[in-house]
Amino acid sequence: MDSFQIESKINAPQEKVYHAFSDVSEIPKWKPYVTSCEILDISTANAISVRKINQEISGRKIYSVETVLVANEPVEYKSRFESNGGTVLQSSTFRAVSSTETIWTYESQFNPKWFVKVFTFFLRNLYKNSADREIEAFKQYVEEA
């Protein structure tokens, strides 16, 4: 399993940050490769909701299924993404520094399927750099909204 943590200061109130992050209709507005999101199930036995995230990366259409495990508004959001390549556990916490500043701590753990494990060493920096870009895009989106 490969994991990393990123922390970012966002110049926006905690509630606004949490809403933009957790609202399925907002995701395509700040994740450039996400084309659409749809809710598949709400309040399942072991999850709060299950959502399908449709993406297009380098002309290739792929999707992942996100199971929301914790949605503790406006403080914490945890989910599991499953795709052909493996499972990603993501944890986000949002800490209010002031009424206009929030610290977002993002943790990600990637558990690749056997055929992807061979490439994990090479993909590590690519995956982390992609997360850095997503966080910066999210920060810009929330701060400008």
The structure's pTM equals: 0.85
Average pLDDT over residues 4-13: 96
Q: What is the pLDDT at residue 136? A: 95
Residue 78, both tokens? 């945890």
* Helix locations, 23-113, DSSP H: 27-30
Predicted confidence at residue 46, as pLDDT, reads: 58
Question: Is the model's pLDDT at 93 over the cut of 90?
Answer: yes
User: In this predicted model, what pLDDT tens digit does every residue of 102-114 receive, in sequence order?
Assistant: 999 999 998 877 6
pLDDT in tens, 10-63: 999 999 999 999 988 899 999 888 999 988 877 665 567 888 888 888 888 988
What pLDDT shows up at residue 38? 87
Q: What is the pLDDT at residue 122?
A: 64
The confidence score (pLDDT) of residue 144 equals 94
Show the domains of the chain with their CATH numbers.
2-144 (3.30.530.20)
Residue 79, exposed/middle/buried by CB under 10 A (0-12, 13-18, 19+)?
buried
Phi, psi dihedrals of residue 92, rounded to the nearest 5° = -125, 135
List the single range of 97-101, 110-114, 136-140 with lowest mean pLDDT. Answer: 110-114
Q: Cβ–Cβ contacts within 10 Å for residue 35, how many?
A: 13
- Which band of pLDDT confidence, cut at 50, 70 and 90, is reported for residue 73? very high
